[in-house]
Structure 1
């Protein structure tokens, strides 16, 4: 019985959602380490990549549910080579897809949103891993 209670607690930890989220907050235009924060050792990353508590860092109505966002832009310049910029921060207006692309005349961008602390540091947000873990715990719970 104790094992089943523990499994239920673990399962709920995957689905719990809170607006008190911490996200990396940087722009590779003025902090080159922002381009790939996971390439840094954790101690160094903590010193040079800011992380913010979204509720206090972003001035929006208190009813908003925050999430982390990562935007990768390829900016086209008419007089020089294109440039890739990565922006990480907080979001509050959700898109119906986890990641989406936007193409404009002067840039291309990929925007990904995620819902766990510091999740906007990864190369790609991966919900499939969480779903697989939930299925495995569900199967153990039912057996």
Structure 2
């Protein structure tokens, strides 16, 4: 492989990985403080609750905790936040942690706003195809 081809490959791959770096964004709120937190949808990215995760925590996923508290009102609470310690035993990324006085469902997801990725997988395939074609014809 010629040196110029190696440099071209390096530049192309560097460009891809530089553009692939982004900070995770999750909804961050608690319905105890803000009732709007109960009804947020994954496409509500204009919401004030949709924020970049703190870099100091090295967040790797978004978390949603739903609680139904056994009191006279049967209170519902939702807490949304960034997470940094993955619960590996979670089936389908969710698990229950009920007690005598509350029912709780915890979920973790790994994309912005717990919806589709900001870099769709088909874009990676298209990029790799373009690199291969470039290398063949240059």
The two structures have a TM-score, normalised by structure 1, of: 0.56
- Assess if the C-alpha contact under 8 Å between 1:69 and 1:113 holds in 2: yes
Q: Structure 1 residue runs of 4+, over 4 Å off? A: none
Question: What's the secondary structure of 2:100's corresponding residue?
Answer: coil
Please tell me the root mean square deviation across aligned C-alpha atoms, in Å: 3.4
In structure 2, the residue matched to 1:29 is 32
Separation in 1 of the partners of 2:110 and 2:75?
Answer: 28
Structure with larger Rg: 2
- Assess if the C-alpha contact under 8 Å between 1:19 and 1:67 holds in 2: no
Relative to 1, partners in 2 of residues 1:105 and 1:18: Cα closer, same or farther, differing over 3 Å? farther
| 1:19 to partner: Cα distance | 7.8
Choose the corresponding residue for 1:70, options 41, 61, 64.
64
| 1:103 to partner: Cα distance | 0.9
Segments of structure 1 that go 5 or more residues without pairing to the other structure are 1-16
Count how many residue pairs are aligned between Structure 1 and Structure 2: 102
Matched, 1:102 2:101: no
The two structures have a TM-score, normalised by structure 2, of: 0.58
Segments of structure 2 that go 5 or more residues without pairing to the other structure are 1-19, 130-138
In structure 2, the residue matched to 1:81 is 73
Report Cα offsets for 1:27-81 as digits up to 9, x if no partner.
Answer: 1112111111129x84xx624x41222233xx54xxx45210011001122xx22
Separation in 1 of the partners of 2:105 and 2:40?
Answer: 17
Separation in 2 of the partners of 1:92 and 1:75?
Answer: 26
- Assess if the C-alpha contact under 8 Å between 2:64 and 2:79 holds in 1: yes
Separation in 2 of the partners of 1:72 and 1:33?
Answer: 14
